[in-house]
Amino acid sequence: RAAPLAPPCLSGHSTHAPEPLAGGQPFAVVWNIPTGRCQHRFGVGLPLGDYGIVENQGGDFAGQNITIFYKNKFGLYPYLSEQGVPHNGGIPQRVPLSAHLDRVAEDIRLLLRPAFHGLAVVDWEEWRPLWAQNWGPKRMYRAASEQWVRDQHGILPARQQLRLAQSEFEQAAQTLMEETLLAGRTLRPAGLWGFYRFPDCLNGNWAKVANYSGQCQPAEVQRNNLLGWLWAASSALYPSIYLPLALPPALRRRYVHHRLREALRVAAFGTDGLLPVIAYSRLSFRRSPRFLELADLVHTIGESAALGAAGLVLWGDMSYSRSPESCASLRHYLVSTLGPYVANVTAAARECSYRQCHGHGRCVRRQPHDLGSLLHLGPGAGPSAAFRCHCYRGWLAWSLWAKVGGLCGAFRLDTIAIAAERQHRPQFGSGWVQQHLCFPA
């Protein structure tokens, strides 16, 4: 007999799932590759819509569904050339902030309609906002900052000079990045504003350790904790899950998994609830023209959907559309491999949302580390019990316990017991599994 109806379990404000990106889809795949000329110049069409892949109108690289702002096309981003030549002051301390924000506003008004509600990605990669993150080739920003201190304050004791250079750099970097996002969110408030490759994970050390786990470097996790101001200023997170070609196939899933897990952890630092996580991926390996095989699409697209990311961006450069041959190769890959897999995953995410959330939430893996459970239709599908419902804002999560039965392990709700949300399973006996359903608040 069914247990008495219990009061609903209302999750805290910050635990509601971010809203769908496009068309009510719980998981969306967005095209960010300049392939419009495949059709316009070479007559090779790419039927992205047939597979539910979101693209800008006309195949444009920048448009109303997604726009990426690069260093030399958005405001007055300060950076140093490889030879150390400064552009726009070279370091954040020297950029004229008001002139930068005026240019940012001009660029936004030029590119994005007032009703823009797509992905707005700022791609600034020359330096990082924390002093400790600027190592290797980025050390030039430390040196330039110390020189700036000497220019402004004269000769100081080495320790004092270093402290001052670090504090001035970090404060200027924070102000520049915060104010840039604020300008975007003020002018185009429905857009999802964030910086590409934030947060990072620094888990590319597979060749240096005996038993590679894929976990993020603890120091980088701590640095992400120090960037609370950046997550508070963002309205989306855009981590990178590009696969390095040298990464052994057996390690690729855990490499991606932990990069996504760190972004999903950081998403809780948003000021208005969980930030949507939209991972950046590629059709090919990093610094390689070789297309990803199906297994690697599972590691990237499939893992993103299963963990509860709001979507994934497929990025690429002009090389995909440089010739009729490259366009034909891309079309073949889309039709034979990429498109069918994207269609499968997005349909599985949608079906799970309807089945477990009444269409008002996103299915997420119940045990994040259970890498074998995936949102697939047909062979390779994870069991329904492996996923729980994460309700969108405005919907309440109920904890539902149901008896497993029927074909293929599907839920047969001929025997139901409803219990209040609790940490451990109620003692209903064997064969009971938990669902979370969404009902209006």
Q: Do 35 and 330 contact (CB within 8 A), yes or no?
A: yes
Q: Do 286 and 245 contact (CB within 8 A), yes or no?
A: yes
Residue type, 270: G
Distance of CA 300 to the CA centre of its chain: 11
In which order are the strands placed within the sheet that holds 311-315? Answer: 28-32, 311-315, 278-282
Q: Do 77 and 124 contact (CB within 8 A), yes or no?
A: yes
Cα–Cα separations (whole angstroms), residue 129 to 68, 160, 209, 388: 19, 20, 28, 36
Question: In whole angstroms, what is the distance from residue 365 CA to residue 341 CA?
Answer: 19
SS3 173: helix
- Closest by CA to 187, choosing from 109, 275, 122, is 109
Q: Which residues contact 397 (CB under 8 A, 6 or more apart)?
A: 8, 9, 10, 11, 361, 389, 390, 391, 421, 436, 437, 438
- Which two three-digit tokens encode residue 383? 């069991």
Active site residue 351: no
Tell me: cis bond preceding 47? Omega within 30 of 0 counts.
no
Q: Which residues contact 90 (CB under 8 A, 6 or more apart)?
A: 78, 79, 80, 144
Question: In whole angstroms, what is the distance from residue 143 CA to residue 165 CA?
Answer: 9
Cα–Cα separations (whole angstroms), residue 205 to 32, 109, 296: 28, 42, 19
Distance of CA 387 to the CA centre of its chain: 20
Residue of 82, 106, 125, 325 marked catalytic: 125
- Which two three-digit tokens encode residue 76? 């007055």
Catalytic positions, written as ranges: 125
